[in-house]
Amino acid sequence: MIDVLAPGPYATIQDLGRPGYAHLGVPRSGAADERALTLANRLVGNPEGHAGIELTFGGARLRFADPAWIAVTGAPCPLYLAGRVAEMYAPVWVPAGAELVVGAPAAGLRTYLAVRGGVEVEAVLGSRSHDSLSGLGPPPLRPGDRLPVGVAGDRPITVDAVPGPAFPAAPVLGVLPGPREDWFTEEALRAFYGTPYEITPESNRVGVRLRGAALHRAREGEIPSEGMVTGAVQVPPDGRPIVFLPDHPPTGGYPVIGVLTSRALAVIAQLRPGDQVRFRPGGPGAR
């Protein structure tokens, strides 16, 4: 059992979500920075899709009733285990009864904790992810929650530590154009790919809302509702783009100017309100 003493500003259980139900109106959900969760799982010898804890702005305190192997990845935070400094991006042995304190991240937004055996709360539609749009899955963590830990598999822990990724201050993110690029004026495309955008405080796991040059449409009317992918840059009538994160609605009626690459998606999921970002067409991802 893991006892949640304090969850920090916002913490949820996340795995790789609920693929395969979009046609029934179910968001995929899952870790916002999938790369960080899968790495944390590999570090403790879990299958990549085991459920872990996604912390937003760090700040959590957890007590481990039983001994455990854990790994913490994503936005780099100070870690204290039983009062001593512990490493991120490494498997860490936790003795029974020890308390883990996660500080505020120096950079980035979301920090992931994996435990060997995985967090084993009840799965809904095959996933333990909290979906902030529909409410499916376990609710956000609260003080006093007790999280069961699953039985560890046979896979050994083989790595001592890995280098963490860089958290660039003003990243340039790769975007694959379309599917509805033709809905926008030349001027809008120049602005989208040529001027900086700022992450606003209204951003959440549904989408990153951007402030910057408004993107005007080349035509009138609306498109009929159509399927949306994670990373889609949807542009509502006010011209302010929204980048869809894993809890996005599976269908939407506003045109999508482009879709972030999976590398770019992992980067934008770690940006904070006030951070700046630029976009470039094509390309394999963030520089």
Partner 1 sequence: MTGGQAPAIRRAGEHGLLVETGELAISHRLDALLRAERPPGVVEIVPGPATVLVVAPGVDLARLRARLSDLARTAGEAPPARPSGTDTVVIPVVYDGADLPGVAELTGLSVRDVIARHTGTELVAGWLGFAPGFAYLTGLDPELHVPRLATPRTSVPAGAVAIAGPYSAVYPSASPGGWRLIGHTTLRTWDVRADPPSILRPGTRVRFQAAGP
Which residues are at the interface with partner 1 (CB under 8 A)?
19-26, 28, 124-125, 134, 136, 176-180, 223-229, 231-232, 249-252, 256, 259-262
Q: In this structure, are residues 88 and 40 in contact, taking their beta carbons and an 8 Å threshold?
A: no
- Give least dist CB 161 to partner 1, A: 29
d(C-alpha 174, C-alpha 193), whole Å: 10
Q: Give whichever of 237 and 284 is closer to partner 1, judged by the CB atom.
A: 284
- Give least dist CB 99 to partner 1, A: 35
Q: Give whichever of 180 and 209 is closer to partner 1, judged by the CB atom.
A: 180
- Give least dist CB 276 to partner 1, A: 23
| DSSP for residue 238 | T
- Give least dist CB 73 to partner 1, A: 21
Token pair, residue 81, equals 């285990």
Q: Give whichever of 55 and 131 is closer to partner 1, judged by the CB atom.
A: 131
Residues 6+ apart with CB under 8 A from 8: 55, 56, 57, 58, 59, 60, 102
| Residue 40 phi, psi (nearest 5) | -60, -40
Q: Give whichever of 4 and 257 is closer to partner 1, judged by the CB atom.
A: 257
d(C-alpha 262, C-alpha 19), whole Å: 16
